[in-house]
Chain A
């Protein structure tokens, strides 16, 4: 009986793909998606084609479900406090004339959240009402009540998600585009081959998400593979998603060149730099030294070179960016400038992000740069994310940069939001406000 109820409550496949909020499945985190992910072709719950399992409970990231989060007293109290603050500010803002600017901005900031809270209360009352009808004698009424009950529950979860999104302030950089950098690490040629595969994966991911992927720099190695590359990625939520990809990725497999069939571990590093808009971040051209091949001699009509590489040095900080991707020098200059802006901007944000993310498991920024975040094991055909303690199967599909990567990225997103929420609740509890 309970099982049949559970089956009805499972989200459909399309819902799953669009909103992979794990907690909606109402399973404890250790059983994330074991069987509950998709409905099979005949409507019965079926196994997802790619199964996944978490690591042992002690290592697994505790991804709380919506129910668990909303059961927290700290959250309930915080929401009540915000409602109270809203009511006070509203009174203050409407009473006096032009004085309370701060109250009015606070009101407009809190209004959407308070509205959602109100809607949630309404829905929960509706749910309670339908519950009484579930045990009605009339089977037709019962069925109707059942449908309404399910509808209410779905809407409640949606509203809860909305409230959480509204609680957490959007970070400045989340709205921006990004510059992606990949660098081969330890492992010689094998590391460079892996770097190439990872770069391809992100190119695929950009395609999958409908983002643009413009290569700024691409240093292949003579013996095969990629030493270093960078790309400018832009599109909605691109930085917001990609920021969790930063860190050290490890590959474990028998390399192509390995004659004795031994397993090797190689690494590569991914860096994700937010790309600021022109207005939000300006660089003084006097602070730049631009180096080109044309610099020596008289230049102009006197010389014909085909070396159009450009290197830009930011004098105050010593940060350097270069590009030789194009035949046109001015295009190389533009690309180098793009890369430079991203590097300088991320330095600027560095302070803020390291403070905010200091205590968290999911690190971004330079602190996260040397963290081993993921291992790709070819012989066991699995990909493990070390921050979540989660493992997914089918490495080759993962490296396509499509659904599997998207899924893992969404989990990282949720987990990071959760950590942010916990911090927020701790802060407010400490402040006692």
Chain B
């Protein structure tokens, strides 16, 4: 239900933009408060200043970064720093001005910049972004880094030294993790799951744009509701990676409007203790992974000791290996390993 109002919300903002051009400098505040497009020509820099001020007035977060990123995108650059000399002081064409107004007005409604410009970078990939599919966070770039460095150092995982590794990603979102791994590891195959059809579609779209679709399979599955199906699809996986919803339900209310209004809550809410999906992943892991296969999770900073204790008590075949920190020094990543116990070896049908 919240999703329907969301769509209606930003569509209505969109349809108010075209129309009356106010006088340059006049502050005509209309019903949905879209600032008027100036009658005369303005430079790129003037447009940025104007909109930064609008954002400040309306309490929009990161007002300067927002207008700079939108402008850079419009002028064909990633960031303002990489723009060609003098572009900032050039006049914007009427088309570009109109586009600037249209995009910045979306930002006024607290839509995240990544959704406004419909793209963002993750490691060395540029991915298409679309609400409500979860926007990749910088911490997750480090999760991928972790997996990549570990893969280099790991011996064969028992599936045969020359056999290509398969990785399972739970909750692929826009495809950031899956596609980064596929890009960096030419021999890797990835199975990606998400409970959201939008996410499945977007991952597929990004895979096609990057030419990585051949080694990727994406399924619309919920790791809790569709556990049986998941298990039938995934066997002898060497790596399980996930950035599962890990927020505590009570923290959902404290989220900024950018997140609360626009991103899929199911990609964020991990239940009372934030561990709902994590626990399910770890429960299924022994059946999905080959022996010595590893799990890499991004989690809330409070989780690592909780996860360690829970796994020791509840999942016999998973060993907690270590906790790694993110760039800000918070405990952020949990690494676990499947260790088949001796008694199971005799009954081993793998």
Binding site for B on A (CB under 8 A): 196, 200, 215, 217-220, 222, 224-226, 290, 292, 294-295, 298-308, 310, 324-331, 333
Least CB distance, A25 to chain B, in whole angstroms: 39
Contacts of B22 on A, CB cut-off 8 Å? none
Tell me whether A330 and B138 are in contact in the complex, defined as CB-CB below 8 angstroms, given that A300-B300, A306-B62 are known contacts.
yes
Q: B81-89, B91-99, B234-242: which one contacts chain A?
A: B81-89
- What are the 10 A-B residue pairs with the smallest beta carbon separation, nearest first? A329-B138, A327-B121, A330-B141, A218-B81, A328-B121, A295-B328, A306-B113, A306-B65, A307-B65, A290-B327
Contacts of B139 on A, CB cut-off 8 Å? 294, 299-300
Tell me whether A304 and B258 are in contact in the complex, defined as CB-CB below 8 angstroms, given that A299-B330, A324-B79 are known contacts.
yes
B338 contacts chain A at the CB level, 8 A cutoff: no
| CB-based contact A327/B120 at 8 Å | yes
Least CB distance, B86 to chain A, in whole angstroms: 6
Q: How large is the interface on B (under 10, 10 to 19, 20 to 34, 35 or more residues)?
A: 35 or more
Nearest residue (CB) in A for B66 is A306
Rounded to whole angstroms, the CA-CA distance of A157 and B268 in the bound complex is 74
Contacts of B259 on A, CB cut-off 8 Å? 302-304
Contacts of A325 on B, CB cut-off 8 Å? 79, 81-82
Contacts of A303 on B, CB cut-off 8 Å? 137, 256, 259
Q: B4-12, B203-211, B222-230, B243-251: which one contacts chain A?
A: B243-251
| CB-based contact B85/A226 at 8 Å | yes
Nearest residue (CB) in A for B61 is A305
| CB-based contact A331/B62 at 8 Å | no
- What are 17 residue pairs bridging A and B, where the CB atoms are less than 8 Å apart in the complex? A215-B82, A220-B81, A220-B88, A222-B45, A290-B328, A294-B328, A300-B326, A300-B330, A300-B332, A304-B114, A304-B135, A304-B263, A305-B62, A327-B121, A328-B141, A329-B138, A331-B124
Rounded to whole angstroms, the CA-CA distance of A329 and B258 in the bound complex is 19
Rounded to whole angstroms, the CA-CA distance of A53 and B19 in the bound complex is 65
Contacts of A331 on B, CB cut-off 8 Å? 121, 123-124
| CB-based contact A224/B246 at 8 Å | no
| CB-based contact A218/B82 at 8 Å | yes
Least CB distance, B298 to chain A, in whole angstroms: 7
Nearest residue (CB) in A for B138 is A329
Contacts of B113 on A, CB cut-off 8 Å? 306
Contacts of B81 on A, CB cut-off 8 Å? 215, 217-220, 324-325
| CB-based contact B138/A301 at 8 Å | no
Contacts of A298 on B, CB cut-off 8 Å? 251, 300-301, 330
Nearest residue (CB) in A for B247 is A301
Q: Which residue from B79, B85, B112, B301 sits with its C-beta under 8 Å from A327?
A: B79
Nearest residue (CB) in A for B259 is A304
| CB-based contact B85/A301 at 8 Å | no
Least CB distance, A16 to chain B, in whole angstroms: 34
Contacts of A220 on B, CB cut-off 8 Å? 80-81, 83, 85, 88
| CB-based contact B246/A301 at 8 Å | yes
Nearest residue (CB) in B for A298 is B301
Nearest residue (CB) in B for A333 is B327
Rounded to whole angstroms, the CA-CA distance of A215 and B78 in the bound complex is 13
Least CB distance, B196 to chain A, in whole angstroms: 15
Q: Which residue from A217, A300, A330 sits with its C-beta under 8 Å from B123?
A: A330
Rounded to whole angstroms, the CA-CA distance of A25 and B28 in the bound complex is 75
Rounded to whole angstroms, the CA-CA distance of A219 and B268 in the bound complex is 36
**Residue from A301, A310, A331 having most chain B Cβ neighbours under 10 A:** A301
Rounded to whole angstroms, the CA-CA distance of A331 and B123 in the bound complex is 6
Nearest residue (CB) in A for B245 is A301
Rounded to whole angstroms, the CA-CA distance of A310 and B139 in the bound complex is 13
Least CB distance, B253 to chain A, in whole angstroms: 12
Rounded to whole angstroms, the CA-CA distance of A326 and B126 in the bound complex is 11
Least CB distance, A181 to chain B, in whole angstroms: 15
Least CB distance, B211 to chain A, in whole angstroms: 20
Contacts of B120 on A, CB cut-off 8 Å? 327
Query: Which B residues from 100 to 125 make CB contacts under 8 A with A?
Result: 112-114, 120-124
Tell me whether A292 and B327 are in contact in the complex, defined as CB-CB below 8 angstroms, given that A306-B62, A328-B141 are known contacts.
yes
Rounded to whole angstroms, the CA-CA distance of A308 and B298 in the bound complex is 19
Contacts of B251 on A, CB cut-off 8 Å? 298, 302
Nearest residue (CB) in A for B125 is A328
Q: Which residue from B79, B89, B134, B328 sits with its C-beta under 8 Å from A326?
A: B79
Rounded to whole angstroms, the CA-CA distance of A310 and B142 in the bound complex is 14
Contacts of A224 on B, CB cut-off 8 Å? 86, 88-89
Nearest residue (CB) in B for A328 is B121
| CB-based contact A300/B327 at 8 Å | no
Contacts of A226 on B, CB cut-off 8 Å? 85
**Residue from A215, A220, A222 having most chain B Cβ neighbours under 10 A:** A220
Other A-B pairs beyond A303-B259, A327-B120, 9, CB < 8 Å: A219-B81, A226-B85, A295-B328, A301-B134, A304-B112, A306-B114, A326-B121, A327-B78, A328-B122
Least CB distance, A193 to chain B, in whole angstroms: 9
Rounded to whole angstroms, the CA-CA distance of A333 and B82 in the bound complex is 17
Contacts of A302 on B, CB cut-off 8 Å? 247, 251, 254-255, 259
Report B296-340 CB contacts with A as 1/0, cut-off 8 Å: 001011000000000000000000000000111010100000000
| CB-based contact A328/B256 at 8 Å | no
Rounded to whole angstroms, the CA-CA distance of A215 and B81 in the bound complex is 10
| CB-based contact B326/A306 at 8 Å | no
B201 contacts chain A at the CB level, 8 A cutoff: no
Contacts of B85 on A, CB cut-off 8 Å? 196, 200, 220, 225-226
